[in-house]
Structure 1
Amino acid sequence: MSEADITHPPEPRTHGPLADSQGIVFGALMAAFGVMMLTHMGLVTGQTAGLAVLISYATGLPFAGVFFVVNLPFYWLGLRRMGLAFTLKTFAAVGLLSGLSVVLPRYVTFGEIHPGVGAVLFGMITGAGLLALFRHGASLGGVGIVALYLQERFGWRAGFTQLAFDACVFAAAISVIPPDRVGWSLLGAVVLNLVIAVNHRRDWYVAR
Protein backbone atom coordinates (compact mmCIF):
# COMPACT_ATOMS: atom_id res chain seq x y z
CA MET A 1 0.00 0.00 0.00
CA SER A 2 1.39 3.39 -0.98
CA GLU A 3 1.58 6.48 1.21
CA ALA A 4 -1.12 8.04 -0.96
CA ASP A 5 -3.45 5.14 -0.17
CA ILE A 6 -2.90 5.66 3.57
CA THR A 7 -3.34 9.44 3.61
CA HIS A 8 -6.11 9.48 0.98
CA PRO A 9 -8.04 6.20 1.16
CA PRO A 10 -10.35 5.41 -1.76
CA GLU A 11 -13.98 6.44 -1.58
CA PRO A 12 -16.35 3.72 -0.33
CA ARG A 13 -17.96 1.75 -3.11
CA THR A 14 -21.74 1.98 -3.39
CA HIS A 15 -24.13 -0.97 -3.47
CA GLY A 16 -25.74 -1.62 -6.83
CA PRO A 17 -29.45 -2.35 -7.40
CA LEU A 18 -28.93 -6.13 -7.25
CA ALA A 19 -26.98 -5.95 -3.99
CA ASP A 20 -29.59 -3.62 -2.47
CA SER A 21 -32.44 -5.89 -3.57
CA GLN A 22 -30.97 -9.04 -2.06
CA GLY A 23 -30.10 -7.16 1.13
CA ILE A 24 -33.65 -5.86 1.52
CA VAL A 25 -35.20 -9.27 0.76
CA PHE A 26 -32.83 -10.99 3.20
CA GLY A 27 -33.48 -8.42 5.92
CA ALA A 28 -37.26 -8.52 5.55
CA LEU A 29 -37.30 -12.33 5.45
CA MET A 30 -35.17 -12.68 8.59
CA ALA A 31 -37.33 -10.12 10.40
CA ALA A 32 -40.55 -11.85 9.31
CA PHE A 33 -39.19 -15.20 10.50
CA GLY A 34 -38.19 -13.65 13.81
CA VAL A 35 -41.61 -12.03 14.35
CA MET A 36 -43.30 -15.33 13.50
CA MET A 37 -41.21 -17.09 16.16
CA LEU A 38 -41.91 -14.27 18.60
CA THR A 39 -45.69 -14.37 18.26
CA HIS A 40 -45.66 -18.17 18.42
CA MET A 41 -44.21 -17.84 21.93
CA GLY A 42 -46.63 -15.06 22.87
CA LEU A 43 -43.83 -12.53 23.34
CA VAL A 44 -43.48 -8.93 22.22
CA THR A 45 -40.61 -6.80 21.04
CA GLY A 46 -39.85 -3.12 20.72
CA GLN A 47 -39.84 -0.65 17.85
CA THR A 48 -42.88 -0.30 15.60
CA ALA A 49 -42.93 -4.07 15.04
CA GLY A 50 -43.39 -4.55 18.78
CA LEU A 51 -46.07 -1.89 18.91
CA ALA A 52 -47.88 -3.65 16.05
CA VAL A 53 -47.57 -7.03 17.83
CA LEU A 54 -48.99 -5.50 21.01
CA ILE A 55 -51.93 -3.94 19.15
CA SER A 56 -52.52 -7.26 17.40
CA TYR A 57 -52.63 -9.12 20.72
CA ALA A 58 -54.96 -6.56 22.29
CA THR A 59 -57.40 -6.22 19.36
CA GLY A 60 -57.15 -9.48 17.44
CA LEU A 61 -56.28 -7.59 14.26
CA PRO A 62 -53.72 -9.26 11.96
CA PHE A 63 -50.12 -8.19 12.55
CA ALA A 64 -49.40 -7.59 8.85
CA GLY A 65 -52.04 -4.90 8.42
CA VAL A 66 -51.36 -3.23 11.76
CA PHE A 67 -47.61 -3.10 11.10
CA PHE A 68 -48.08 -1.53 7.68
CA VAL A 69 -50.49 1.15 8.97
CA VAL A 70 -48.43 1.98 12.08
CA ASN A 71 -45.46 2.83 9.87
CA LEU A 72 -47.28 5.25 7.56
CA PRO A 73 -46.73 8.44 9.64
CA PHE A 74 -42.96 7.87 9.73
CA TYR A 75 -42.40 7.98 5.98
CA TRP A 76 -42.66 11.77 6.00
CA LEU A 77 -39.64 11.98 8.33
CA GLY A 78 -37.81 9.42 6.24
CA LEU A 79 -38.42 11.41 3.06
CA ARG A 80 -37.56 14.75 4.67
CA ARG A 81 -34.46 13.68 6.60
CA MET A 82 -33.10 10.53 4.93
CA GLY A 83 -34.01 11.07 1.28
CA LEU A 84 -36.20 9.49 -1.36
CA ALA A 85 -34.05 6.39 -1.92
CA PHE A 86 -34.03 5.51 1.79
CA THR A 87 -37.79 6.05 2.06
CA LEU A 88 -38.58 3.91 -0.98
CA LYS A 89 -36.31 1.10 0.23
CA THR A 90 -37.90 1.26 3.67
CA PHE A 91 -41.38 1.18 2.18
CA ALA A 92 -40.38 -1.90 0.19
CA ALA A 93 -38.93 -3.58 3.29
CA VAL A 94 -42.06 -2.86 5.36
CA GLY A 95 -44.29 -4.13 2.56
CA LEU A 96 -42.20 -7.29 2.23
CA LEU A 97 -42.29 -7.97 5.97
CA SER A 98 -46.06 -7.49 6.04
CA GLY A 99 -46.53 -9.83 3.09
CA LEU A 100 -44.08 -12.45 4.34
CA SER A 101 -45.72 -12.52 7.76
CA VAL A 102 -48.88 -13.71 5.98
CA VAL A 103 -47.17 -16.20 3.65
CA LEU A 104 -44.56 -17.80 5.95
CA PRO A 105 -47.02 -19.50 8.35
CA ARG A 106 -48.27 -21.55 5.41
CA TYR A 107 -44.84 -23.15 5.04
CA VAL A 108 -43.19 -22.91 8.47
CA THR A 109 -44.54 -24.15 11.80
CA PHE A 110 -42.99 -24.32 15.26
CA GLY A 111 -43.25 -26.84 18.05
CA GLU A 112 -42.39 -26.12 21.65
CA ILE A 113 -39.75 -23.39 22.11
CA HIS A 114 -38.32 -22.44 25.47
CA PRO A 115 -39.04 -18.69 25.73
CA GLY A 116 -35.50 -17.88 26.87
CA VAL A 117 -33.86 -19.69 23.96
CA GLY A 118 -36.48 -18.37 21.56
CA ALA A 119 -35.99 -14.80 22.76
CA VAL A 120 -32.22 -14.98 22.18
CA LEU A 121 -32.67 -16.55 18.73
CA PHE A 122 -35.26 -13.92 17.85
CA GLY A 123 -32.87 -11.15 18.83
CA MET A 124 -30.00 -12.59 16.80
CA ILE A 125 -32.04 -13.44 13.71
CA THR A 126 -33.96 -10.16 13.62
CA GLY A 127 -30.82 -8.19 14.47
CA ALA A 128 -29.04 -9.74 11.48
CA GLY A 129 -32.00 -8.81 9.30
CA LEU A 130 -31.99 -5.20 10.51
CA LEU A 131 -28.23 -4.94 9.97
CA ALA A 132 -28.72 -6.02 6.37
CA LEU A 133 -31.42 -3.40 5.88
CA PHE A 134 -29.36 -0.65 7.51
CA ARG A 135 -26.31 -1.47 5.41
CA HIS A 136 -28.36 -1.24 2.24
CA GLY A 137 -29.92 2.11 3.10
CA ALA A 138 -33.25 0.89 4.45
CA SER A 139 -35.01 0.14 7.73
CA LEU A 140 -38.28 -1.35 8.94
CA GLY A 141 -39.75 2.11 9.30
CA GLY A 142 -40.99 3.82 12.41
CA VAL A 143 -38.44 4.04 15.18
CA GLY A 144 -35.80 2.64 12.84
CA ILE A 145 -36.09 5.80 10.72
CA VAL A 146 -35.81 8.02 13.80
CA ALA A 147 -32.88 5.99 15.16
CA LEU A 148 -30.94 6.13 11.91
CA TYR A 149 -31.59 9.86 11.56
CA LEU A 150 -30.31 10.51 15.10
CA GLN A 151 -27.23 8.38 14.42
CA GLU A 152 -26.48 10.27 11.21
CA ARG A 153 -27.22 13.69 12.76
CA PHE A 154 -25.83 13.37 16.28
CA GLY A 155 -23.82 10.13 16.32
CA TRP A 156 -26.20 8.41 18.75
CA ARG A 157 -26.08 4.61 18.39
CA ALA A 158 -29.22 3.40 16.62
CA GLY A 159 -29.51 0.38 18.90
CA PHE A 160 -29.58 2.47 22.07
CA THR A 161 -32.21 4.83 20.66
CA GLN A 162 -34.43 1.88 19.82
CA LEU A 163 -33.83 0.39 23.26
CA ALA A 164 -35.30 3.53 24.88
CA PHE A 165 -38.45 3.21 22.77
CA ASP A 166 -38.63 -0.48 23.62
CA ALA A 167 -38.88 0.38 27.32
CA CYS A 168 -42.11 2.26 26.63
CA VAL A 169 -43.56 -0.64 24.65
CA PHE A 170 -42.73 -3.12 27.41
CA ALA A 171 -44.32 -0.88 30.02
CA ALA A 172 -47.55 -1.09 28.02
CA ALA A 173 -47.12 -4.83 27.45
CA ILE A 174 -47.50 -5.57 31.17
CA SER A 175 -51.24 -4.96 30.85
CA VAL A 176 -51.57 -7.27 27.83
CA ILE A 177 -49.38 -10.34 28.42
CA PRO A 178 -48.22 -12.18 31.58
CA PRO A 179 -45.26 -10.65 33.46
CA ASP A 180 -42.97 -13.63 32.79
CA ARG A 181 -43.55 -13.21 29.04
CA VAL A 182 -42.69 -9.54 29.34
CA GLY A 183 -39.41 -10.55 31.00
CA TRP A 184 -38.49 -12.99 28.23
CA SER A 185 -39.52 -10.39 25.66
CA LEU A 186 -37.16 -7.90 27.25
CA LEU A 187 -34.32 -10.40 26.90
CA GLY A 188 -35.01 -10.72 23.18
CA ALA A 189 -35.11 -6.95 22.70
CA VAL A 190 -31.83 -6.49 24.57
CA VAL A 191 -30.12 -9.11 22.39
CA LEU A 192 -31.52 -7.52 19.22
CA ASN A 193 -30.43 -4.02 20.12
CA LEU A 194 -27.00 -5.12 21.29
CA VAL A 195 -26.47 -6.85 17.93
CA ILE A 196 -27.23 -3.54 16.22
CA ALA A 197 -25.32 -1.34 18.67
CA VAL A 198 -22.16 -3.45 18.48
CA ASN A 199 -22.16 -4.15 14.74
CA HIS A 200 -23.73 -1.12 13.08
CA ARG A 201 -20.77 1.28 12.95
CA ARG A 202 -19.88 3.39 9.95
CA ASP A 203 -16.15 3.13 10.68
CA TRP A 204 -16.34 -0.66 10.44
CA TYR A 205 -18.44 -0.85 7.28
CA VAL A 206 -17.56 1.55 4.51
CA ALA A 207 -19.77 0.44 1.60
CA ARG A 208 -22.92 2.46 1.02
Structure 2
Amino acid sequence: MKNLKKKQVLIFIGRIIMVITGAFITAYGLESVLIPNRVSDGGVTGISIVGSATFGIPLGLLIALLNIPFIWLGYRQIGIKFAALSVAGILSLAYFTAIMHHLPAIIEGDSLLITVVGGVIIGVGMGIALRNGGALDGIDMFAVLLSRKLPFGTSDLILFLNTFVFLLVSTVFGFQGAILSAIAYFIASKVIHLIEEGLSGSKAFVIVTIHPEIIIEAVREELGRTCTYNTITGGYSKMELTQITCVINRLEEQKMKEVVGRIDPQAFLTVYDVSDVRKGSFIKQDVRQ
Protein backbone atom coordinates (compact mmCIF):
# COMPACT_ATOMS: atom_id res chain seq x y z
CA MET A 1 0.00 0.00 0.00
CA LYS A 2 2.83 2.42 0.87
CA ASN A 3 4.56 1.68 -2.43
CA LEU A 4 1.32 2.33 -4.29
CA LYS A 5 0.81 5.68 -2.57
CA LYS A 6 4.43 6.63 -3.21
CA LYS A 7 4.02 5.77 -6.88
CA GLN A 8 0.84 7.86 -7.10
CA VAL A 9 2.60 10.82 -5.48
CA LEU A 10 5.50 10.56 -7.90
CA ILE A 11 3.10 10.38 -10.85
CA PHE A 12 1.26 13.48 -9.59
CA ILE A 13 4.54 15.37 -9.14
CA GLY A 14 5.52 14.37 -12.68
CA ARG A 15 2.22 15.74 -13.96
CA ILE A 16 2.77 19.02 -12.14
CA ILE A 17 6.20 19.33 -13.76
CA MET A 18 4.71 18.67 -17.20
CA VAL A 19 1.89 21.19 -16.65
CA ILE A 20 4.46 23.82 -15.60
CA THR A 21 6.50 22.95 -18.70
CA GLY A 22 3.38 23.51 -20.80
CA ALA A 23 2.87 26.88 -19.11
CA PHE A 24 6.46 27.86 -19.90
CA ILE A 25 6.04 26.99 -23.59
CA THR A 26 2.71 28.85 -23.77
CA ALA A 27 4.17 31.95 -22.14
CA TYR A 28 7.07 31.90 -24.58
CA GLY A 29 4.69 31.75 -27.53
CA LEU A 30 2.69 34.67 -26.18
CA GLU A 31 5.58 36.94 -25.23
CA SER A 32 7.99 36.21 -28.08
CA VAL A 33 5.59 35.81 -31.00
CA LEU A 34 1.99 36.95 -30.57
CA ILE A 35 1.88 39.90 -28.16
CA PRO A 36 4.83 41.86 -29.69
CA ASN A 37 3.03 41.63 -33.04
CA ARG A 38 -0.33 42.78 -31.61
CA VAL A 39 -1.89 39.33 -31.91
CA SER A 40 -3.84 37.83 -29.04
CA ASP A 41 -4.93 34.41 -27.84
CA GLY A 42 -8.50 33.35 -27.13
CA GLY A 43 -10.25 32.62 -23.86
CA VAL A 44 -9.35 34.16 -20.52
CA THR A 45 -5.78 34.71 -21.72
CA GLY A 46 -7.09 36.81 -24.62
CA ILE A 47 -9.22 38.90 -22.26
CA SER A 48 -6.18 39.34 -20.01
CA ILE A 49 -4.06 40.51 -22.93
CA VAL A 50 -6.70 43.10 -23.88
CA GLY A 51 -6.98 44.27 -20.27
CA SER A 52 -3.21 44.55 -19.93
CA ALA A 53 -2.89 46.56 -23.16
CA THR A 54 -5.79 48.86 -22.23
CA PHE A 55 -5.19 49.56 -18.55
CA GLY A 56 -1.48 48.80 -18.19
CA ILE A 57 -2.09 46.05 -15.61
CA PRO A 58 0.56 43.31 -15.67
CA LEU A 59 -0.57 40.44 -17.86
CA GLY A 60 0.43 37.77 -15.34
CA LEU A 61 -1.68 39.38 -12.62
CA LEU A 62 -4.77 39.46 -14.86
CA ILE A 63 -4.28 35.84 -15.94
CA ALA A 64 -4.13 34.74 -12.31
CA LEU A 65 -7.10 36.84 -11.13
CA LEU A 66 -9.49 36.24 -14.03
CA ASN A 67 -9.00 32.48 -13.88
CA ILE A 68 -9.94 32.18 -10.18
CA PRO A 69 -13.69 31.61 -10.79
CA PHE A 70 -12.92 28.98 -13.42
CA ILE A 71 -10.49 27.15 -11.13
CA TRP A 72 -13.26 26.97 -8.54
CA LEU A 73 -15.61 25.73 -11.25
CA GLY A 74 -13.10 23.06 -12.25
CA TYR A 75 -12.78 21.97 -8.62
CA ARG A 76 -16.56 21.61 -8.26
CA GLN A 77 -17.16 19.92 -11.61
CA ILE A 78 -14.03 17.80 -12.16
CA GLY A 79 -12.20 17.39 -8.86
CA ILE A 80 -9.42 18.56 -6.59
CA LYS A 81 -6.56 17.04 -8.61
CA PHE A 82 -7.65 18.85 -11.75
CA ALA A 83 -8.01 22.08 -9.79
CA ALA A 84 -4.57 21.66 -8.19
CA LEU A 85 -2.90 20.98 -11.53
CA SER A 86 -4.73 23.93 -13.11
CA VAL A 87 -3.62 26.22 -10.27
CA ALA A 88 -0.02 25.14 -10.85
CA GLY A 89 -0.39 25.73 -14.58
CA ILE A 90 -2.15 29.09 -14.41
CA LEU A 91 0.15 30.51 -11.74
CA SER A 92 3.16 29.28 -13.73
CA LEU A 93 1.76 30.89 -16.88
CA ALA A 94 1.26 34.15 -14.98
CA TYR A 95 4.81 34.03 -13.63
CA PHE A 96 6.46 33.12 -16.92
CA THR A 97 4.64 35.85 -18.85
CA ALA A 98 5.94 38.33 -16.27
CA ILE A 99 9.59 37.31 -16.54
CA MET A 100 9.42 36.97 -20.34
CA HIS A 101 7.61 40.25 -20.93
CA HIS A 102 10.63 42.04 -22.39
CA LEU A 103 11.78 39.20 -24.64
CA PRO A 104 12.46 40.35 -28.21
CA ALA A 105 10.08 39.02 -30.85
CA ILE A 106 11.50 36.04 -32.74
CA ILE A 107 9.31 36.83 -35.77
CA GLU A 108 8.16 40.19 -37.08
CA GLY A 109 6.24 41.47 -40.07
CA ASP A 110 5.05 38.22 -41.70
CA SER A 111 1.45 37.86 -40.53
CA LEU A 112 1.02 34.27 -41.77
CA LEU A 113 4.24 33.10 -40.12
CA ILE A 114 3.34 34.88 -36.88
CA THR A 115 -0.05 33.16 -36.61
CA VAL A 116 1.29 29.72 -37.56
CA VAL A 117 4.36 29.76 -35.31
CA GLY A 118 2.52 31.43 -32.42
CA GLY A 119 -0.44 29.08 -32.72
CA VAL A 120 1.78 25.99 -32.83
CA ILE A 121 3.87 27.04 -29.81
CA ILE A 122 0.80 27.88 -27.72
CA GLY A 123 -0.97 24.72 -28.85
CA VAL A 124 1.98 22.56 -27.82
CA GLY A 125 2.13 24.20 -24.39
CA MET A 126 -1.59 24.00 -23.67
CA GLY A 127 -1.78 20.49 -25.12
CA ILE A 128 0.97 19.26 -22.78
CA ALA A 129 -0.88 20.76 -19.81
CA LEU A 130 -4.23 19.23 -20.80
CA ARG A 131 -2.70 15.84 -21.55
CA ASN A 132 -1.32 15.79 -18.01
CA GLY A 133 -4.60 16.71 -16.35
CA GLY A 134 -4.40 20.49 -15.98
CA ALA A 135 -5.65 23.55 -17.83
CA LEU A 136 -4.07 26.93 -18.57
CA ASP A 137 -7.29 28.73 -19.50
CA GLY A 138 -10.66 28.68 -17.79
CA ILE A 139 -12.98 29.22 -20.75
CA ASP A 140 -13.02 25.51 -21.60
CA MET A 141 -14.29 24.67 -18.11
CA PHE A 142 -17.03 27.27 -18.46
CA ALA A 143 -18.04 25.83 -21.83
CA VAL A 144 -18.27 22.32 -20.34
CA LEU A 145 -20.62 23.61 -17.61
CA LEU A 146 -22.78 25.52 -20.10
CA SER A 147 -23.06 22.46 -22.35
CA ARG A 148 -24.81 20.66 -19.49
CA LYS A 149 -27.36 23.45 -19.17
CA LEU A 150 -27.87 24.35 -22.85
CA PRO A 151 -28.65 22.27 -25.96
CA PHE A 152 -25.23 22.92 -27.53
CA GLY A 153 -21.98 20.98 -27.69
CA THR A 154 -18.85 22.05 -25.81
CA SER A 155 -16.93 22.90 -29.00
CA ASP A 156 -19.82 25.07 -30.26
CA LEU A 157 -19.90 26.98 -26.99
CA ILE A 158 -16.11 27.48 -26.96
CA LEU A 159 -16.36 28.95 -30.45
CA PHE A 160 -19.31 31.13 -29.41
CA LEU A 161 -17.56 32.46 -26.30
CA ASN A 162 -14.35 33.17 -28.18
CA THR A 163 -16.28 35.16 -30.78
CA PHE A 164 -16.89 37.77 -28.08
CA VAL A 165 -13.25 37.56 -27.00
CA PHE A 166 -12.03 38.34 -30.52
CA LEU A 167 -14.55 41.18 -30.85
CA LEU A 168 -13.00 42.57 -27.69
CA VAL A 169 -9.52 42.04 -29.16
CA SER A 170 -10.53 44.07 -32.22
CA THR A 171 -11.12 47.15 -30.03
CA VAL A 172 -7.44 47.14 -29.01
CA PHE A 173 -5.53 45.43 -31.82
CA GLY A 174 -7.86 46.37 -34.65
CA PHE A 175 -9.80 44.18 -37.05
CA GLN A 176 -6.66 42.70 -38.58
CA GLY A 177 -5.30 41.84 -35.14
CA ALA A 178 -8.58 40.13 -34.25
CA ILE A 179 -8.55 38.07 -37.47
CA LEU A 180 -4.93 37.05 -36.92
CA SER A 181 -5.75 36.19 -33.30
CA ALA A 182 -8.63 33.97 -34.41
CA ILE A 183 -6.39 32.19 -36.92
CA ALA A 184 -3.67 31.65 -34.29
CA TYR A 185 -6.29 30.32 -31.86
CA PHE A 186 -7.64 27.94 -34.50
CA ILE A 187 -4.16 26.60 -35.21
CA ALA A 188 -3.49 26.26 -31.48
CA SER A 189 -6.73 24.29 -31.00
CA LYS A 190 -5.71 21.82 -33.70
CA VAL A 191 -2.27 21.36 -32.16
CA ILE A 192 -3.85 20.87 -28.72
CA HIS A 193 -6.04 18.13 -30.18
CA LEU A 194 -3.00 16.48 -31.74
CA ILE A 195 -1.04 16.60 -28.47
CA GLU A 196 -4.00 15.25 -26.47
CA GLU A 197 -4.68 12.44 -28.91
CA GLY A 198 -0.99 11.54 -29.12
CA LEU A 199 1.24 10.77 -32.06
CA SER A 200 0.96 6.99 -31.95
CA GLY A 201 -2.19 6.96 -34.05
CA SER A 202 -3.72 3.78 -32.66
CA LYS A 203 -6.81 2.43 -34.40
CA ALA A 204 -9.65 0.29 -33.09
CA PHE A 205 -11.17 -2.12 -35.60
CA VAL A 206 -14.68 -3.47 -35.03
CA ILE A 207 -15.44 -6.35 -37.39
CA VAL A 208 -18.80 -8.08 -37.74
CA THR A 209 -18.31 -11.41 -39.48
CA ILE A 210 -19.42 -15.02 -39.83
CA HIS A 211 -15.80 -16.24 -39.84
CA PRO A 212 -14.46 -15.04 -36.46
CA GLU A 213 -12.04 -17.88 -35.72
CA ILE A 214 -10.24 -17.58 -39.05
CA ILE A 215 -9.93 -13.80 -38.83
CA ILE A 216 -8.70 -13.86 -35.21
CA GLU A 217 -6.08 -16.48 -36.06
CA ALA A 218 -4.94 -14.56 -39.15
CA VAL A 219 -4.65 -11.33 -37.16
CA ARG A 220 -2.58 -13.11 -34.53
CA GLU A 221 -0.26 -14.69 -37.09
CA GLU A 222 0.09 -11.83 -39.59
CA LEU A 223 -0.08 -8.78 -37.29
CA GLY A 224 0.92 -10.22 -33.93
CA ARG A 225 -2.22 -8.79 -32.31
CA THR A 226 -4.86 -10.31 -30.06
CA CYS A 227 -8.59 -9.67 -30.36
CA THR A 228 -11.71 -9.82 -28.25
CA TYR A 229 -15.07 -10.94 -29.56
CA ASN A 230 -18.70 -11.42 -28.60
CA THR A 231 -21.83 -12.81 -30.21
CA ILE A 232 -24.38 -10.34 -31.57
CA THR A 233 -27.70 -10.53 -33.46
CA GLY A 234 -28.47 -8.61 -36.63
CA GLY A 235 -31.24 -6.08 -36.08
CA TYR A 236 -32.89 -6.76 -39.45
CA SER A 237 -31.77 -10.23 -40.47
CA LYS A 238 -31.89 -11.67 -36.92
CA MET A 239 -28.81 -13.64 -37.94
CA GLU A 240 -26.33 -14.56 -35.24
CA LEU A 241 -22.97 -12.93 -35.95
CA THR A 242 -19.68 -12.32 -34.17
CA GLN A 243 -18.25 -8.89 -33.40
CA ILE A 244 -14.46 -8.75 -33.17
CA THR A 245 -12.57 -5.83 -31.62
CA CYS A 246 -8.86 -5.30 -32.19
CA VAL A 247 -6.57 -2.32 -31.46
CA ILE A 248 -3.55 -1.81 -33.73
CA ASN A 249 -1.19 1.02 -34.65
CA ARG A 250 -1.76 3.12 -37.74
CA LEU A 251 1.04 1.44 -39.69
CA GLU A 252 -0.90 -1.83 -39.54
CA GLU A 253 -4.23 -0.39 -40.71
CA GLN A 254 -3.93 -1.30 -44.38
CA LYS A 255 -2.68 -4.80 -43.63
CA MET A 256 -5.59 -5.32 -41.24
CA LYS A 257 -8.05 -4.34 -43.96
CA GLU A 258 -6.36 -6.75 -46.37
CA VAL A 259 -6.61 -9.63 -43.89
CA VAL A 260 -10.32 -9.03 -43.24
CA GLY A 261 -11.11 -8.46 -46.92
CA ARG A 262 -9.32 -11.67 -47.94
CA ILE A 263 -11.09 -13.88 -45.40
CA ASP A 264 -14.55 -12.32 -45.40
CA PRO A 265 -15.24 -9.76 -48.16
CA GLN A 266 -18.77 -9.28 -46.76
CA ALA A 267 -17.60 -8.42 -43.24
CA PHE A 268 -18.93 -5.18 -41.77
CA LEU A 269 -15.92 -3.10 -40.75
CA THR A 270 -15.65 0.13 -38.76
CA VAL A 271 -12.43 1.91 -37.76
CA TYR A 272 -12.04 4.38 -34.90
CA ASP A 273 -9.19 6.64 -33.81
CA VAL A 274 -7.90 5.73 -30.36
CA SER A 275 -6.38 8.48 -28.21
CA ASP A 276 -4.78 6.30 -25.56
CA VAL A 277 -4.03 2.61 -24.97
CA ARG A 278 -3.02 1.23 -21.61
CA LYS A 279 -2.55 -2.13 -19.90
CA GLY A 280 -4.22 -5.21 -21.36
CA SER A 281 -2.63 -7.16 -24.20
CA PHE A 282 -1.72 -4.34 -26.55
CA ILE A 283 1.93 -5.43 -26.65
CA LYS A 284 2.69 -6.58 -30.17
CA GLN A 285 3.88 -10.16 -30.62
CA ASP A 286 6.22 -11.42 -33.34
CA VAL A 287 4.44 -12.26 -36.59
CA ARG A 288 4.77 -15.59 -38.32
CA GLN A 289 4.64 -14.26 -41.85
TM bucket, shorter chain: 0.7 to 0.9
Aligned residues: 192
Query: Where does 1:166-185 land on structure 2 (aligned, <5 Å)?
Result: 166-185=162-181
2:66 to 70, 76, 91: 70
For residues 16-27 of structure 1, the aligned pairs below 5 Å read 16-27=11-22
Relative contact order (alpha carbons < 8 A, sep ≥ 6): 1 or 2 greater?
1
Does the alignment pair 1:38 with 2:109? no
Q: Structure 1 residue 150: deviation in Å?
A: 7.4
The 3-state SS of whatever aligns with 2:23 is helix
One-letter code aligned to 1:26: T
Q: 1 or 2, which has the higher helix percentage?
A: 1
Q: Is the 8 A contact 2:16 2:88 kept in 1?
A: no
Residue of 100, 107, 124 corresponding to 1:104:
100
State the alpha-carbon separation in 2 of the partners of residues 54 and 43 from structure 1.
Answer: 10
Give the conservation status (yes or no) of the 8 Å contact 2:128–2:196: no
Query: Which structure has greater strand proportion?
Result: 2
Report the equivalent of 2:113: 117
Match of 1:204 in 2: 275
- Opposite residue 68 of structure 2, the aligned amino acid is L
Report the counterpart of residue 55 of structure 1 in structure 2.
51
TM-score of the two chains, using structure 2 as the length reference? 0.59
Deviation at residue 181 of structure 1 after TM alignment: 1.6
User: Amino acid of the residue matched to residue 25 of structure 1?
Assistant: I
- Cα deviation for residue 199 of structure 1 reads 4.9
Q: Distance in 1 between matches of 2:101 and 2:125?
A: 18
Aligned-partner Cα distance in 2 for 1:22–1:174? 35
Match for residue 29 of structure 1?
24
| Residues 102-132 of structure 1: per-residue CA shift (max 9 Å, x gap) | 11246x4225512321111111111111111
Closer/same/farther in 2, CA of residues 105 and 84 from structure 1, 3 Å limit: same
One-letter amino acid of the counterpart of residue 121, structure 1: V
Match of 2:225 in 1: none
Q: Report Cα offsets for 1:157-191 as digits up to 9, x if no partner.
A: 86654333221111122222222222211210111
> Gaps spanning 5+ residues in structure 2: where?
1-7, 198-272, 279-289
Structure 1, unmatched stretches of 5+, are 1-13
Q: Aligned partner of 2:25: which letter? A: M
SS of the equivalent of 1:122 reads: helix
RMSD, matched Cα: 2.9
Tell me which of 114, 123, 128 is aligned to 2:124: 128
How much has 1:195 moved relative to structure 2?
Answer: 2.2
Which residue identity does 1:185 align to in structure 2?
A: S
